[in-house]
Structure 1
Amino acid sequence: MAATLTTALTGEEITILKSYKRSRFSLVQHKAEALLLLEDGVTLDIIARFVERQPSTITTWITDFNRLRTASLFTGHATNTNASKLTPTQREEIATVLSQPPSTQSIPSQFWTVPQLKDWVASQFEVVYDSDTTYHLLLRHAGLSFKYPQVFDKRRGSDTEINARIAEIREEIADALQDPDQVVFAADEVRVEHEAEVRKAWIHKHAPTTLSVDRVRQAQSYIGFLSQTTGEVDLLRLTWQNTETIVEALTTLVGRYPDKKITIVWDNARWHRSKKLREHLGEGNPLANVHLVWLPPYAPDHNPIEKVWNEAKAAISNRQRLVFEDTCIGFETFIGSSAFAYRI
């Protein structure tokens, strides 16, 4: 019995349960209070007296929670049926709520999910739908779409700061873009990875379903320089991503554009700003014609060559190549045969 009287609540569940203590439905409120009291080590008899239920009822609530988690708060409600329908007014209220982050409803999340919406609708309107399709329609009605969100570092600056820095960069490179004796690049490194993987195969019914493959994971690093005038990319292989290999790549780039001043806009990777790299810059040094410009920190979405990497990886992703070198050649061929419209 003791084993069933535990819930192992997560931090998110505790926050959600605390919000349900304010529910206008007494059963939801009492279930949330019982689970939180249990988490705090309160005995079953005291919990039962507090919520005015029998100990056996509390035990059922705990068992249901361990099976369904927060969804169990809305099962068994006396007035709730799956046939319940939202009124037009309620739908508009939901759309208004969905136009804001879940945090405005005491839900600790940046984005709405179907389980969060299902719980919220049940707690507010006592309506639970069997199919997730209905919740999808509610989300779409509120103007939301299902897509992969961009993930940014928490240390990223505000949009105002980032946009101000991008404006400075555009002003800084404006003259160079118009000067035939100068070239401007947006640059970054990328890794192409490869691992043989077979998900399903057509095999005779009585044949063994085993297949020998080389599961060794391989990777190749590159640095690319996207011309901000022609849209072409100078792509170079790297043995590693560090100061030494970047200096070698920059030296190769200088050799491709003799007598040209070269401006490179890139991110703040430590090997882009290292003391050893700066020793190669300036008058009298091998990279004397190179001028470096740094993007705002933690803002890779403002580097146009990131879009090149995404496009190139998408182009080669639908074909499984058994030899890693073929994967690299496919990546290089796509980039080398294309001109890209991405600009700072």
Structure 2
Amino acid sequence: MHVEPHGTQEELKGLERGEKNATRSRRLRVLILALEGWTAPAVATAVGLSRRACQDVVRRYNERGLAGLDERRGRSRRPVLSSEEEAALRERIEAGPTDPDPDRVCTLRGKDFQRVLASEFNLLRSLTGVYRLLHKLGYSCLRPRPKHRKADPEKIEAFMREWPERIEQIAAGRPGKRLRVYFQDESRFGQQGTNTNVWAKRGSRPTAVRQTEYEYLWVLGAVCAETGHAEGLLSPQLNTKIVNTFLELFSATVPEGEHAVMVWDGAGFHTAKALAVPENITLVRLPPYSPELNPIENLWHYLKSHFWSNRVYDDYEALEQAAMDA
């Protein structure tokens, strides 16, 4: 390949040593090898490009010098969707399947979005193009968190809006005390097992044991996200007496100069008349059917998915040991 003398071979080698852009460095290497008398096929093999791509690098260098090695910018692509269409597609994605027609599915898959784009937006795209568009818009296929149908969005919003004022009121009634907010909840763990994801070969359907026996225990926990202070209790049953025992034991762990604000749900054993609340604890009840406001729920999910799933437990003692280990 003929190379015009825009620069000496040593100058090109010096540029290659100082070049940080990998693409431009490879193009300089093409020129250097061509100046050494290498053929186009040999250069292509050495640098990992096609023969035609190497010839194109030399041609552009011959015509424009070092400027010919710069990236060539083509015309900008026309957006797949206009801003109005993009907004409409976002609404369609977040609305989910239409009921009952025409979707007839519980969740929209790539093939469904392919049909939606064709029928509602007059846009034909391959399945790969559909997924690329969804990812570009910032969407991923995520598993939703369960939500009770009786949840009241207005009460949940009011609870969050009034939270700072409620904390101030609690603090005002306990001068000299440092408030610590704890989130409390209970979770049942037993031989009615669950399964979690495992690594397996693509296309396979791995199996895992799911136990269906009837021994179980209750895990009670309270966590302060600010300090990391956490307390737990294991019990074969759950009632107001057990909750009182937990509150008594927890109260003894609260430092002298602090006051615990314990956030929990409205379960029956949390509202019973026999409930005994220590003086250094103030209880705050969450709105009904709003577990998303209690982040300790994430702890139960983590323990079940990382420690308690895909396993068999022979008896109560095995459950207790697994709970303590986790």
Question: What TM-score do you get using the length of structure 1 for normalisation?
Answer: 0.51
Alpha-carbon RMSD: 4.2
Which residue number corresponds to residue 149 of structure 1? 144
What pairs up with 1:46-57 in 2 under 5 angstroms? none
Structure 2 match to 1:332: 324
**Corresponding residue number in structure 2 for 1:16:** none
Aligned to 1:264: 262
CA distance in 2, matches of 1:192, 1:266: 19
Question: 2:280 aligned with 1:303, yes or no?
Answer: no
Alpha-carbon distance, 1:245 to partner: 2.5
Change (3 A) 1:162 1:257: closer
Counterparts of 1:271 and 1:332, CA distance in 2: 24
The offset of 1:229, in angstroms, is: 5.2
Q: Secondary structure at the match of 2:234?
A: strand
Aligned to 1:245: 242
Instruction: Kindly indicate whether residue 191 of structure 2 is the aligned counterpart of residue 194 of structure 1.
Output: yes
Q: 1:261 to 1:121 in 2, by over 3 A?
A: closer
Equivalent position amino acid for 1:118 in 2: Q
Q: Does 1:96 align with 2:87?
A: yes
Q: Which residue number in structure 2 is paired with residue 224 of structure 1?
A: 221
| 8 A Cα contact 2:192 2:210, kept in partner | no
Aligned residue number for residue 274 of structure 1? 272
Shift of 1:173: 5.3
DSSP 3-state at the match of 1:253: helix
Amino acid at match of 2:325: T
Q: What letter is aligned with 1:114?
A: G
CA contact (8 A) 2:182 2:223 kept: yes
Q: Is the 8 A contact 1:177 1:229 kept in 2?
A: no
Distance 2:136 2:215 in 1: 45
Which one-letter code corresponds to 2:262 in the other structure?
Answer: I
Shift of 1:301: 2.4
Percent identical among aligned pairs is 22
The separation in 2 between residues aligned to 1:152 and 1:236, in whole angstroms, is 27
Indicate how the Cα distance of structure 1 residues 247 and 311 shifts in structure 2: closer, same or farther if over 3 A, else same.
Answer: same
Q: Work out whether residues 218 and 236 of structure 2, in 8 Å CA contact, stay in contact via their aligned partners in 1.
A: yes
CA distance in 1, matches of 2:113, 2:232: 46
Number of positions where the alignment pairs a residue of Structure 1 with one of Structure 2: 227
Runs (5+) with no aligned partner, structure 2 = 1-76, 197-208
Query: Which protein is bigger by CA-based radius of gyration?
Result: 2
Q: Shift of residue 315 of structure 1?
A: 2.9
Of 309, 313, 330, 2:304 maps to 313
Is there any run of 5+ residues in structure 1 with no aligned partner, and where? 1-86, 200-211, 282-286, 335-344
Amino acid at match of 1:135: V
Q: Which of residues 285, 291, 300 is equivalent to 2:282?
A: 291
Pair 186,173 (structure 1): closer, same or farther in 2 beyond 3 Å: farther
- Write the distance in 1 (CA, Å) between the matches of 2:96 and 2:224: 47
